[in-house]
Amino acid sequence: MSLNITQNTAVAVAIHNVSKQFGSKRAVDGVSFTLQQGSITAILGPNGAGKTTILSMMLGLLEPDAGTVEVLGGSPKDLKVRRRIGAMLQEVSVMDSLKAGEILELIRGYYPKPMEMAEVMQLTGLNQEDLSKRATKMSGGQKRKLSFALALAGNPDLLFFDEPTVGLDTTARRLFWSTVRSLAAQGKSILFTTHYLQEADDNADRIVLFKDGRIAADGSPAEIKARLSRKSLSFQCRSGTAANIIARLEAVPDVTGLQQEQGRLHVYTNNTDLVLSIIFKEELPVHDIQMDQGSLDEAFEQLTARKEEVV
Ligand SMILES: Nc1ncnc2c1ncn2[C@@H]1O[C@H](COP(=O)(O)OP(=O)(O)OP(=O)(O)O)[C@@H](O)[C@H]1O
């Protein structure tokens, strides 16, 4: 992999035209983006979208088939770079024979400038009692906190979290996100993957939405929401007229999707006024018109829907 080192110190991660194939499955397909230092970025997407694969390449755990991955100005495999990265992955595997505190001390010992133990405990909510337990005796939530503590142990500049809040209760979740925000305020860069649109909306400066190994949308939560929350309207078509109405509305550039469900035709558009004016001016044979705003979750489903699900 040849690296074109970016001199711009404000860039924490630069991904250029990266692809990764597993057998016949193209898990990541020509993806490019950069992450700014001090930013909190969410990678969002349905199961199998390629989130973990791209994260693994940023961590140097997987090699891209094509393209370049530059992290903190170098290769993610460089020791100098690795020492400045912390990661919390989905699977937590720790040394069962050691107590949590001993594991943490061991890992801190690998770094030239580790985070103070007191700060690790304060940021993660781990207490002395938790640290005196063997990892095998810890609850799922405590293990998650230990994993967070291990990610922070080296006082990294760049943190990767793969679905970090799975298994955390509400209080632990709140603490986690307030810690993440304070870390970003210190200038650390954070990238996390999640399935929860609300968490991304509440905590990220930027959302990169993955679908089928590609970026389907990229922007601030407000920008993404504006796109996700595209409005829809629905109506019933007079018997035998649906095909003609679909053909007419498909020809309208502002119509981004059409879906038939339980006898109603749903029209997705950023310009509901235009669609309504066409219906009335052209006296399309429809009745029982409804305007639907749709929830964020529904809208996310629309953006990541497979083509065959849309008429
Ligand atoms: N080691 C592997 N061998 C074969 N296929 C793989 C491997 N890792 C991932 N894949 C496939 O690549 C695609 C992307 O997987 P990936 O784990 O990156 O998705 P994801 O977005 O993280 O999904 P999830 O939300 O379920 O964690 C999937 O189709 C998956 O089955």
Residue 22: CB within 6 Å of ligand 1? yes
Q: Which helix (H) or strand (E) holds 290?
A: strand 286-292
And the tokens for 239? 């018997």
Dihedral over alpha carbons 6, 12, 18, 21 (to 10 degrees): 140
- Within the chain, all domains assigned CATH 3.30.70.980 are found at 229-306
Are 203 and 175 in contact by the 8 Å Cβ rule? The answer is no
CA of 6 to the centre of ligand 1 (A): 29
And the tokens for 172? 């632990």
Residue 128: CB within 6 Å of ligand 1? no
Residue 188: CB within 6 Å of ligand 1? no
Domain 11-226 CATH assignment equals 3.40.50.300:
yes
Phi and psi angles of residue 145, each rounded to the nearest 5 degrees, phi first: -65, -40
Question: Which homologous superfamily does the CATH classification assign to the domain defined by 229-306?
Answer: YebC, transcriptional regulation domain (3.30.70.980)
Angle at 47 between CA 40 and CA 44, to 5 degrees: 20
Residue 57: CB within 6 Å of ligand 1? no
Are 302 and 46 in contact by the 8 Å Cβ rule? The answer is no
Q: Which atom in ligand 1 lies closest to the alpha carbon of residue 20?
A: 12
- What pLDDT is stored for residue 300 in this prediction? 75
Which residue has its alpha carbon closest to ligand 1 atom 5? 22
Q: Which helix (H) or strand (E) holds 52?
A: helix 51-58
Which residue has its alpha carbon closest to ligand 1 atom 18? 50
CA of 47 to the centre of ligand 1 (A): 8
- Within the chain, all domains assigned CATH 3.40.50.300 are found at 11-226
Burial 199-217 (b: 16+ CB within 10 A, else e): bbbebbebbbbbbbbebbb
Residue 150: CB within 6 Å of ligand 1? no
- What pLDDT is stored for residue 150 in this prediction? 94
Q: Which atom in ligand 1 lies closest to the alpha carbon of residue 50?
A: 18
And the tokens for 88? 């919390």
Q: Which of 105, 84, 108, 79 is nearest to 160 (CA)?
A: 84
- What pLDDT is stored for residue 299 in this prediction? 60
Which residue has its alpha carbon closest to ligand 1 atom 6? 22
Q: What is the DSSP string of 3-26?
A: ------TTEEEEEEEEEEEETTEE
Residue 90: CB within 6 Å of ligand 1? no
Reduce the DSSP state of residue 134 to 3 states and report it.
strand
Reduce the DSSP state of residue 96 to 3 states and report it.
coil
Burial class of residue 222 in the structure, from the number of CB atoms within 10 Å of its CB (0-12 exposed, 13-18 middle, 19+ buried)? exposed
Which residue has its alpha carbon closest to ligand 1 atom 2? 22
Q: How far apart are CA 296 and CA 286, in angstroms?
A: 27
Per-residue pLDDT tens listing for the chain (311 residues)? 444 444 445 899 999 999 999 999 999 999 999 999 999 999 998 889 999 999 999 999 999 999 999 999 999 999 999 999 999 987 767 677 789 999 999 999 989 899 999 999 999 999 999 999 988 888 888 888 999 999 999 999 999 999 998 888 888 899 999 999 999 999 999 999 988 888 888 999 999 999 999 998 898 887 877 766 567 899 999 999 999 999 999 999 999 889 998 889 999 888 889 999 999 999 999 999 998 755 556 667 767 775 444 43
